[in-house]
A and B are shown apart, each in its own frame.
Chain A
């Protein structure tokens, strides 16, 4: 029995965006956890393990030629998001899980990870702060920015779907 293996794999898979690297990174992370567990002093083992998974994944991303550089967060040049609740409701009705996955995959790594940790794994802000190594206030602002960016990505998916159906 290996606890949190689904959570570890899910995080690695979303961060690295391919199965092969995710498998390698999960194995590496559990090895590190195994070697370090005697030094573990806390009581949130899931956050501790996910921290290790994240570190292994970021090392892998930096090594990888295909790695997308860490994006800057200057959003001033982006068009304003469609801010209506009607747009969000339509997305919820019409987008299937493949398009929603595609929207998340298009986000910068650091935004993708807070969405994965919060919306899929259900971590609290303070746990995300531990995993990502950032202050809790940064978790709040990064998550808010990630959701705005997600709204744009979802809008693009909706537009693509409309275009496809017109053809």
Chain B
């Protein structure tokens, strides 16, 4: 990696948003290049300054009450000729508050399993997003499963099943390695119309988040087959992902 490649990635490197390969390349370049290292030092100093000194404007004490009160008082429905519409129902507010509380981490009614599952889904969608951040989607680019499958030998300690699904509308585009939740996963990249599907495969821990999920606009589907764990991630719709998963699983 040279300076021109490195500079645009320094921010994302410091933010820990890069994929494994680019992150290692940036780190190695920073070791050897004083000019880029200086830029990194400047950026991390600036970040500390911003995090220490910028004001977080917390909500004033009365705002929560105003937010609640504003809704029943001020709203009239145009459709009913000015008749008052009562939006406020305590049960609905509770539901909204509960919904919004989901991501605060300390959900009072929310089981630990659900929180773990969300964290795991988040880890997989992050790997998918990181890869697309820098265009580092594939390490081995090939539509030939006989090229992709051997590429993983020696890189992961299992042999992923790599079917050819081009005829079904899911052409193989390649593979890459990801680090997810502390482990190394083999990622098969398939095309899905103009989207891509990342199919991440591993053995052992963690257990995959089984079934369908949506997270940050990504569709996710996880399952287990024998010793292998699978999670598929795409920015296409859940229905399209389900079609891909059915097709893949039907190959065995």
Taking Cβ atoms with an 8 Å cutoff, the residues of A that contact B are 1-6, 8-10, 13-14, 19, 22-23, 26-27, 30-31, 33-35, 37, 40-47, 49, 83-85, 87-89, 91-92, 95-97, 100-101, 104, 115-116, 118-121, 124-127, 129-130, 136-137, 140-141, 143-144, 147, 150-151, 154
Contacts and interface: CB of A to CB of B under 8 A. Distances in A.
A154 B49 contact: yes
- The dominant DSSP class at the A interface is helix
Contacts of A43: 102-103, 118, 121, 213-215
Contact of B57 (A14, A33, A147): A14
A97 B56 CA distance: 11
B252 interface: no
B240 to A, nearest CB: 15
Given A43-B118, A88-B49, A100-B53, A9 B129 contact: no
A156 to B, nearest CB: 14
6 tightest A-B CB contacts, nearest first: A88-B45, A85-B41, A9-B59, A13-B57, A3-B100, A100-B53
Contact of A46 (B55, B75, B103): B103
A119 B12 contact: no
Contacts of A44: 103, 215-216
Contact of A3 (B46, B57, B101): B101
B59 A147 contact: no
A97 B100 CA distance: 31
Contact of A84 (B38, B92, B217): B38
B103 A147 contact: no
Contact of B103 (A5, A45, A95): A45
Interface of B: 8, 10-12, 15, 17, 38-39, 41-43, 45-60, 63-64, 66-68, 70-71, 75, 87, 92-93, 95-97, 99-104, 118, 121, 125-126, 129, 132-135, 213-217
A119 B51 contact: yes
Nearest to A10: B57
Contacts of A136: 129, 132-133
A126 B96 contact: no
7 contacts: A1-B64, A30-B67, A92-B49, A97-B54, A97-B55, A120-B56, A151-B42
Contacts of B125: 126
B210 to A, nearest CB: 16
B38 A85 contact: yes
A96 B215 contact: no
A147 B46 contact: yes
Contacts of A85: 38, 41-42, 45
Contact of A23 (B63, B75, B121): B63
A91 B45 CA distance: 9
B54 A3 contact: no
Contact of A83 (B11, B42, B102): B42
B49 A130 contact: no
Nearest to A140: B12
